[in-house]
Chain A
Amino acid sequence: MKVTVIRSGGFAGVQRRGESDSGKDPLLARLVDRVDLTSVPPPGRIPDQFLYDIDIDGDTATVGEAQLNGPLRELVHHVLGRAG
């Protein structure tokens, strides 16, 4: 299992990218298990908010930071690391 997160937007407009593979990251599968990408609301268009593009083995969703809560938030910050 492979997860990629790309953060874009924000006042600075600086893009950040993180990825993780369950082969090297034992925590990843447990975090992904709790996430349902199909239930994520559209990101909205809030000026200068961060946007997160999340890819879980080809399933994708874009999430605005205002909607980034619970298990999805844990997963995103885990994959992006300190850059989150």
Chain B
Amino acid sequence: MRCTIVPPHMLEHVAHDPAADPALRAMARRSLVLSAAQRVERRVGPVAPSPPTEDFVPKRTINDAANQETLPGRTVRAEGAPATGDRVVDQAYEWLGVTFDFFEAAYRRDSIDGAGLPMISTVHYGRDYDNAFWNGEQMVYGDGDGVLFTAFTGPLDVTGHELTHGVTQYTAALEYFGQSGALNESASDVFGSLIKQWHLGQTADQADWLIGQGLLAEGVNGVALRSMKEPGTAYDDPRLGKDPQPGHMDDYVDTYRDNGGVHINSGIPNRAFHLAATTLGGNAWEKAGRVWYDTLTGGKLSPTIDFAGFAAATVATATGLYGADAAETTAVRNAWTGVGVSL
């Protein structure tokens, strides 16, 4: 079936018809958010460990804060409801669906907690609000100030990043401070980027490995907020300053601000992931992504684990999946030593 040529209203119907075949329903949901320009050929995550026996169904709620800072705000779109015409609301709804479908297709995960947790987002939060966050229960998005930042609902990887904070909370529960906090941040960037790559059907060498591409307003000197490939190069602007991320332990930043530099030192594990993924080639969510996902959700990490401990855990995961002498395990090991983390 070529879902790309099916009219959207039919896809809407199939996507929400309980009598429809589950696989068809999932495909219809995914297709609804694909524009022909982004992808002409369907590509379903091929790494599910076993054929799906149950179609996971998202439960999305989009709330509107109406430029106040009160949560959760008024519900404007619930699961299955038609588009509202508010581009921000509808984009948030669609990106939640893509993120949900990614975790289902790539890792057979049913939502944030693995057990179908409803996904709740509040948009239009605050006035000129330049941020998005996960508050432990839901996602929150500002519209940006329009001068430095556009709306945080725009880029898919922002939604992927925030929702992954929820996944981490329900799995490794990495403490949001210091190195475990930077690993928490990095996990959100890794899966945020993988969701975008999966959505666009990009292999590791085709991906931009940027976080927040499209978020900087016109006139800001920069390409994104972070670069996993080359941390520290995403922006350099008189108003924003320069991207402060290191890509190697030699440049690790000691600071008490930002919970001990969680958004700064995440550049180091981010680049390690990029090294592993590009060495292995192909779809990054399949091998490198699988190693990181199994490590994050495997229940073996201490919440206060540091870079070296996490690195060792990824090597152990790769060894379990592929063998001690496998190319995959070697790539993971070399990725960490490449950023100065000793094993």
Could you tell me which A residues sit within 8 Å of B by CB distance? Answer: 6, 8-15, 45-51, 53, 66, 82
Name, among A6, A10, A51, the residue most crowded by chain B CB atoms within 10 Å (CB to CB): A10
Chain B, residues 166-198, CB within 8 Å of chain A (1/0): the string is 000100000111000100110010000000000
Q: Cβ of B181 and Cβ of A15 under 8 Å apart?
A: no
CB < 8 Å neighbour of B188 from A6, A12, A47, A66: A47
**In the complex, A14 Cα to B238 Cα: how many Å?**
12
Main SS at interface, chain A: loop
Q: How many residues of B contact A (CB 8 A)?
A: 36
**Chain A binder among B33-41, B52-60, B112-120, B130-138:** B130-138
Instruction: Using CB atoms, name the residue of chain B closest to A49.
Output: B133
State in angstroms the CA–CA spacing of A6 and B131 once bound together: 16
Chain A residues, CB < 8 A from B132: 11, 48
Could you tell me if A9 and B259 are in contact, using CB atoms closer than 8 angstroms?
yes
Known: A45-B176, A48-B165, A50-B131. A9 touches B258 (CB 8 A): yes
Listed from nearest, the 9 A-B pairs whose CB atoms lie closest are A13-B263, A45-B176, A48-B133, A8-B257, A8-B258, A47-B165, A10-B131, A9-B258, A47-B134
Q: Could you mark each residue 138-176 of chain B with 1 if its beta carbon is under 8 Å from any beta carbon of chain A, else 0?
A: 000000010001001000001001100100010000011
Partner of A15, one of B135, B212, B258: B258
Which A residues lie within 8 Å of B241 (CB)? 14-15
The interface centre, meaning the residue of B133, B152, B169, B225 with most chain A CB atoms within 10 A of its CB, is B133
Report which of A11, A49, A66 forms a contact with B225, defined as CB distance below 8 A: A11
| Contact surface of B with A, Cβ cutoff 8 Å | 128, 130-136, 145, 149, 152, 158, 161-162, 165, 169, 175-177, 181, 184-185, 188, 212, 215, 225-226, 240-241, 244, 257-259, 262-264
Residues of the B chain whose Cβ atoms lie less than 8 Å from the Cβ of A14: 225, 240-241
Q: What's the least CB distance linking A71 to chain B, in Å?
A: 16
Interface centre among A10, A11, A15, A48 (most CB of B within 10 A): A11
